[in-house]
Amino acid sequence: MNIWVEITVCALLLIGGFFVLVGSIGLCRLPDVYTRLHAPTKATTVGMGGILIASMVLMSYEQGYVSVHELLITLFLLITAPITAHMLAKTALHHENRALRRTRSQHLMATAREQQPPQSPDSTHE
């Protein structure tokens, strides 16, 4: 096998593995539901993308043609991860899970639960 293909695959696997590890640690260590959503949707998505692209490079080199399966899996992951995070955040809002005290704009959580458009804090109700 070509040394440059091996180096590329190794680099992508190491980068992908690092991001998956960081995302997994973040999922376990972060304090509340809303901050935990960032770990799997951001870091793990990038990590899995790196691992799948490494697989695509290796299979393309060994088979002699471009492998589209890994690319489709990566695209599916990139499309579905933000949608899943949004649905989990909405569920957490409706179950009234608490956010950290230092979270800014907590007044927007009440309006999101009520399905109302946000209002500025200094506006008066008539």
Structure-model confidence comparison of residues 24 and 104, the more confident one: 24
Give the per-residue pLDDT at 30: 83
Number of domains forming the structure of the chain: 1
The answer as to whether 47 is a domain residue is yes
pLDDT at residue 117, rounded to an integer = 62
Output 58 or 68, whichever has higher pLDDT.
58
Q: Is 32 left (phi over 0), alpha (psi -120 to 50) or beta?
A: beta
Q: Is residue 17 part of a domain?
A: yes
In a domain, 123, yes or no: no
Tell me, yes or no, whether 30 lies in a domain: yes
> What range defines the domain where residue 57 resides?
3-113
The letter for the amino acid at 36 is: R
Half-sphere exposure of 14 (CA within 13 A, CB side): 6
SS3 37: coil
Q: Report yes or no on 122 lying in a domain.
A: no
Highest mean pLDDT pick, 41-45, 76-80, 121-125:
76-80
51 within domain boundaries: yes
Section 27-33 average pLDDT: 84
121 domain-assigned: no
Label residue 5 by pLDDT band (50, 70, 90): very high
* Domain contains 125: no
